Amino acid sequence: MDESKAIAMDAYIYGYSLITTEVTRVQMTNVDKPDGTRGPMGKFVNIPRYPPADYRGVSAPNADTLYSLAWIDLEKGPTVFSHPDMGKRYYLFPMYSLWMPVIHSPGTRTTGGAAEKFLLTGPGWKGEVPSGMTEIKSPTRYMLILGRTYARKRGRLQSRECSAG
């Protein structure tokens, strides 16, 4: 393989995910306030109902799961992400860089049900992590949190709280 072809292949392999994820981020955050599955940067969108059968926002939505998502801009500085005590309820808050591998995944199986606080930091950030927080460093400026919380139907859906900011 000649050098120019090798460079083109590397550019595609390492750049394509960044471009497609960035297009998705822009489409999902180009609003002033949360609306459906879209919301401004740094704000959680909490979808208060089970996904309908025709929902295609994720490849295989769960029928007993409520979804939350937030895009975080870490170039502006660290962001605090916290969740309350979840008790025995199943939850998962995987965090993705623009390359889309999971950076960290707080949840029932990985960190337990106790309330937690995380300091989300971007590339190049150097500073002191406040006491009581765990640092999660992203290799990219933007990070996606795609939360899933188990909920069973009892007249109305159970509520949940999360914060980023």
- Per-residue pLDDT, averaged over 48-54, amounts to 78
Domain layout of the chain by residue ranges? 3-51+62-164
* Contact residues for 153 (Cβ-Cβ < 8 A; gap 6+): none
- Percent residues over pLDDT 90 in the chain: 61
Is the Cβ–Cβ distance between 44 and 28 less than 8 Å? Answer: no
| β strands within 5-78, DSSP E | 45-46, 65-73
What does 64-106 look like in DSSP terms, one character per residue?
TEEEEEEEEEGGG--EEEEE---TT--EE--EEETT--EEE--
Is the Cβ–Cβ distance between 42 and 144 less than 8 Å? Answer: no
Task: Please tell us whether the domain made up of 3-51+62-164 is placed in CATH 2.30.29.
Answer: no
Q: Which two tokens stand for residue 108?
A: 């029932």
How many other CB atoms are found less than 10 A from the CB of residue 22? 14
- Per-residue pLDDT, averaged over 127-148, amounts to 95
Q: Which residues pair with 69 in a beta bridge?
A: 45, 146
Q: Which two tokens stand for residue 135?
A: 């640092």
pLDDT exceeds cutoff 90 at 165: no
Q: CA 10 from chain center: how many Å?
A: 27
Q: Which residues pair with 92 in a beta bridge?
A: 107, 148
Q: CA 152 from chain center: how many Å?
A: 23
- Per-residue pLDDT, averaged over 72-79, amounts to 95
Q: For residue 52, what pLDDT band results from cuts at 50, 70 and 90? A: confident
Q: Which two tokens stand for residue 32?
A: 């002033």
pLDDT 10s digits, 79-126: 999 999 999 999 999 999 988 889 999 999 999 999 999 999 999 999
How far lies 66's CA from each of 37, 47, 69, 88, 149, in Å?
A: 12, 6, 10, 16, 5
